[in-house]
């Protein structure tokens, strides 16, 4: 609950409204595991880039954008 001078508000994280999170728990956990692995690879990759004098690049962000595009495409098809 969040209280303000104008009233009280219930603040929720949007994942409770996500169909995959609510109905396909295994798929959700598999995605989380893959995401954690991706974060580790991203850290190692950017350490290598820093050693070469290059700026930070988000591998995680690039892959997440691609996955989101695929999910949106599938949802529109369904």
- Provide the b/e sequence for 15-48 (b: ≥16 CB within 10 Å): eeeeeebeeeeeeeeeeeeeeeeeeeebeeebee
Full-model pTM: 0.55
Q: How far, in Å, CA of 62 to CA of 70, rounded? A: 13
Domain ranges of the chain: 2-77
Q: Is 9 helix (H, G, I), strand (E, B) or coil?
A: strand
Tens digit of each residue's pLDDT (9 = 90 or more) over 3-45: 899 999 988 877 777 777 778 888 878 888 988 998 899 999 9
Span 43-50, average pLDDT = 94
At a CB cut-off of 8 Å and minimum separation 6, what does 49 contact?
55, 56, 57
């Amino acid at each position: 609950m969040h209280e303000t001078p104008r009233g009280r508000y219930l603040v929720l994280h949007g994942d409770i409204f996500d169909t995959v999170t609510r109905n396909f728990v295994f798929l959700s956990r598999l995605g989380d595991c893959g995401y954690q692995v991706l974060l580790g690879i991203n850290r190692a990759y950017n350490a290598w880039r820093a050693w070469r004098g290059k700026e930070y690049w988000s591998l995680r962000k690039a892959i997440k954008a691609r996955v989101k595009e695929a999910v949106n495409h599938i949802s529109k098809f369904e």
